[in-house]
């Protein structure tokens, strides 16, 4: 009888392990001491972080490997990491590139066409991007002009907006193919902003989408809203990064609402989540909401909880983040729901 119980316990642990694997996708912008701190790591910090990955046996893989594993429901090895950069700043070519090359780490650049085509001083040139592509770096879509893709133009219908955004993405992909020889159909949403209609468009076009909401990517992640951990500013230190590198993919069976765009004055969304509870103690789950301390959610059943902010979310972008430690292993499960809203007059913030 005892042997049988041990077998069942072992099988349960194996099942938990198989269902909870995760890949950590890191998001960078600048690697520089002179650029805005909120989107930067210093060269010294970046080198220290890459050295940490190498010294602690992390497996740094191309982003496409993570995507393919999620698509095919194939488990990735423990300590899998993918490195990404948004915008294609020159500091990546001048500073990050030699550091990454010294470690042999692959990485992905998400690039917009307009800033590069106009030769903005902080941006890489097409020649430099082509050189990186020839070196094996993945060059991917970040929209044509780094637009707020979810924002409609004055008088624009839903159909007209979707057609415009579709053409934007296709034109960007065509330009990247012409200039770098790559056509990978991966989009990092500018500003991390997306909505349900944009996700549906990506699905129809066969694209994979990446946000800026934190969390580990894995079998429970949406392929049109894969999470990444931003590494910059207050989150650029090693202590913060070490915690994120141990994150697990929260086993979300379902959640509602899934659309991040808030409308019509509904600025205090109630998030409802159902989890696979094999490795989770509900008493230990905490959520972190804008302007609030850690909050215990309301459990509505054995496997479902809901959480709501105690005051309206601010105009712009915000998150509900929920974490819980693994019962049978190390690290925390991590889930982040992104939100975005206009101001009370229905106007978007000027950025």
The domain that holds 313 is classified in CATH as 2.60.40.10
Each residue's pLDDT tens digit, 183-223: 999 999 999 999 999 999 999 999 999 999 999 999 999 99
Residue 231 has pLDDT above 60, yes or no: yes
Q: What is the residue range of 92's domain?
A: 19-246
3-state secondary structure of 243: helix
Is 185 found in the same domain as 89?
A: yes
Confidence of residue 18 (pLDDT cuts 50, 70, 90): very low
Tell me, yes or no, whether 264 lies in a domain.
Answer: yes
Note the pLDDT tens digit of each residue in 247-274: 999 999 999 999 999 999 999 999 999 9
Residue with the bigger pLDDT between 16 and 48: it is: 48
pLDDT tens digits for range 71-93: 999 999 999 999 999 999 999 99
- pLDDT category at 21 given cuts 50, 70, 90 is confident
- Give yes or no: residues 270 and 213 share one domain: no
Number of domains comprising the chain: 2
Q: Is residue 350 part of a domain?
A: no
Return contacts of 261-267, CB within 8 angstroms, 24+ apart.
261/150, 261/195, 261/196, 261/340, 261/341, 262/313, 262/339, 262/340, 262/341, 263/341, 265/344, 267/312, 267/313, 267/341
Query: Across residues 93-99, what is the average pLDDT?
Result: 98
Residue 9 has pLDDT above 60, yes or no: no
154 lies in the same domain as 209: yes
Is 61's pLDDT higher than 70?
yes
Of 246, 277, 309, which marks where a domain is finished?
Answer: 246
At 83 the pLDDT is 98
Residue with tokens 């496997």: 303
What pLDDT is attached to residue 5?
38
Distance between CA atoms of residues 38 and 235, nearest Å? 9
At 278-331, the pLDDT tens digits run 999 999 999 999 999 899 999 999 999 999 999 999 999 999 999 999 999 889
Q: Are residues 207 and 95 in the same domain?
A: yes
Q: Are residues 280 and 232 in the same domain?
A: no
Query: In this structure, is residue 290 part of a structural domain?
Result: yes
* pLDDT above 80 (res 1): no
Residue range 157-181: average pLDDT? Answer: 98
**How long is the chain?**
351
- ∠ CA 341-86-223, nearest 5°, is 65
Question: What whole-number distance in Å separates Cα of residue 162 and Cα of residue 202?
Answer: 11
pLDDT the model gives residue 14:
39
- Both 260 and 236 in a single domain? no
pLDDT of residue 20: 57
CA distance 114 to 190: 13
Give me the DSSP letters along 62-94: -HHHHHHHHHHTPPPPTTEEEEEEES-BHHIII
Same domain membership, residue 165 and residue 27: yes
186/261 same-domain check: no
Please tell me the distance from the alpha carbon of residue 179 to that of residue 177, in angstroms, as a whole number.
6
Does the structure show a pLDDT above 80 at 240?
yes
CATH of the domain at 191: 3.20.20.370
Question: Could you tell me where the beta strands, DSSP code E, fall in the chain?
Answer: 23-28, 30-31, 40-41, 59-60, 80-86, 108-111, 138-141, 186-188, 208-210, 229-230, 248-249, 252-256, 270-275, 286-288, 298-299, 304-308, 316-325, 332-341
Q: What is the pLDDT of residue 293?
A: 87
Read off the pLDDT band of 40 (50, 70, 90): very high
Q: Give the pair of three-digit tokens for residue 236.
A: 């650029």
Q: Evaluate whether residue 4 is within a structural domain.
A: no
Residues 146 and 44 in one domain: yes
Q: Could you tell me if 73 and 209 lie in one domain?
A: yes
The mean pLDDT value of the chain amounts to 94
Residues 118 and 242 in one domain: yes
**Is 12 contained in some domain?**
no
pLDDT score at 51: 98
- In sequence order, the β-bridge partners of residue 322 are 287, 335
**Bridge-based pairing state of the strands 23-28 and 229-230:** parallel
Determine, yes or no, domain membership for 1. no
Distance CA 215, CA 25 (A): 8
Residue 235 lies in a domain: yes
Instruction: Report yes or no on 175 lying in a domain.
Output: yes
Mean pLDDT for 128-141 is 98
pLDDT of 11 over the 70 cut: no
Do both 48 and 68 map to the same domain? yes
Q: Give backbone dihedrals phi and psi of 100, rounded to 5 degrees, phi first.
A: -65, -40
Domain-terminating residue out of 219, 246, 273: 246
Q: Which of 198, 229, 246 is the C-terminal boundary of a domain? A: 246
């Amino acid at each position: 009888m005892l042997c049988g119980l041990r077998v069942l316990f072992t099988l349960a642990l194996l099942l938990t392990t198989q269902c909870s694997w995760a890949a950590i996708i890191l998001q960078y912008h600048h690697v520089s001491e002179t650029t805005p701190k909120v989107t930067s790591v210093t060269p010294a910090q970046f080198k220290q972080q890459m050295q940490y990955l190498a010294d602690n046996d992390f497996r740094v893989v191309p982003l496409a490997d993570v995507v393919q594993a999620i698509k095919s429901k194939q488990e990735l090895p423990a300590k899998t990491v993918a490195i990404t950069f948004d915008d294609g700043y020159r500091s990546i070519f001048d500073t990050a590139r030699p550091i990454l090359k010294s470690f042999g780490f692959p990485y992905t650049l998400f690039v917009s066409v307009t800033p590069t085509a106009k030769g903005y001083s902080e941006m890489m040139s097409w020649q430099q991007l082509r050189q990186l592509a020839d070196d094996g770096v993945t060059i991917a879509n970040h929209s044509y002009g780094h637009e707020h893709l979810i924002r409609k133009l004055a008088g624009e219908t839903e159909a007209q907006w979707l057609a415009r955004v579709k053409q934007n993405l296709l034109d960007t992909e065509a330009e990247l193919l012409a200039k770098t020889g790559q056509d990978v159909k991966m989009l990092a949403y500018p500003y991390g902003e997306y909505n349900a209609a944009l996700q549906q468009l990506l699905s129809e076009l066969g694209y994979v989408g990446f946000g800026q909401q934190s969390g580990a990517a894995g079998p429970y992640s949406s392929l049109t809203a894969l999470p990444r951990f931003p590494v910059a500013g207050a989150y650029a230190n090693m202590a913060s990064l070490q915690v994120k590198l141990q994150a697990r993919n929260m086993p979300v069976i379902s959640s509602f609402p899934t659309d991040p765009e808030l409308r019509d004055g509904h600025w205090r969304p109630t998030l409802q989540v159902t989890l696979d509870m094999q490795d989770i103690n509900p008493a230990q789950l905490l959520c972190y909401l804008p302007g609030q301390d850690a909050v215990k959610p309301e459990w509505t059943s054995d496997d479902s909880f809901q959480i709501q902010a105690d005051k309206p979310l601010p105009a712009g972008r915000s998150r509900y983040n929920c974490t819980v430690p693994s019962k049978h292993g190390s690290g925390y499960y991590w889930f982040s729901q992104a939100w975005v809203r206009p101001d009370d007059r229905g106007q978007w913030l000027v950025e």
